[in-house]
Homo-oligomer: A and B are copies of this chain.
């Protein structure tokens, strides 16, 4: 796994980050490596993307959690939660591109911490007849 970019965000502490991108994440920048410029060529302002990240501050030994850190909720297997602590801590984020500057994308809706490695970007998939 080779990161293709990094998140540049005002979020630096897990305790301050929203639990999902649509729960108050600040606008931030995804700085892609110049080597993948060709892969980015069709991304424009307004594009909705699924970003995959490597949540490098996660605990990979955790297999069950109280959802959303709420001790009142029953312990749940991590494959039934979006908890970052899990065997392979891959973050899945639906974001909207606000601006493109070379290989730097300004995006909304991304709750990843500053410095988080980016692994992949994919389009949101439409119906079968739109593909």
Which of A's residues lie within 8 Å of B, judged by CB? 1-2, 4, 19-20, 22-23, 36, 38-43, 47, 49-50, 52, 63-64, 67-68, 76-82, 86-88, 90, 92, 119-123, 125, 128, 131
Q: Are B123 and A86 in contact (CB under 8 A)?
A: no
Main secondary structure of the interface of A (DSSP, over half): mixed
Q: With A2-B87, A63-B36, A68-B131 as given contacts, are A79 and B122 in contact (CB-CB < 8 Å)?
A: yes
Q: Are B128 and A80 in contact (CB under 8 A)?
A: no
Q: Are A81 and B123 in contact (CB under 8 A)?
A: yes
Q: Least Cβ distance of A72 to chain B in Å?
A: 14
Closest B residue to A121 by CB, please name it: B79
Closest B residue to A74 by CB, please name it: B42
Q: Are B123 and A82 in contact (CB under 8 A)?
A: yes
Q: Are A88 and B119 in contact (CB under 8 A)?
A: yes
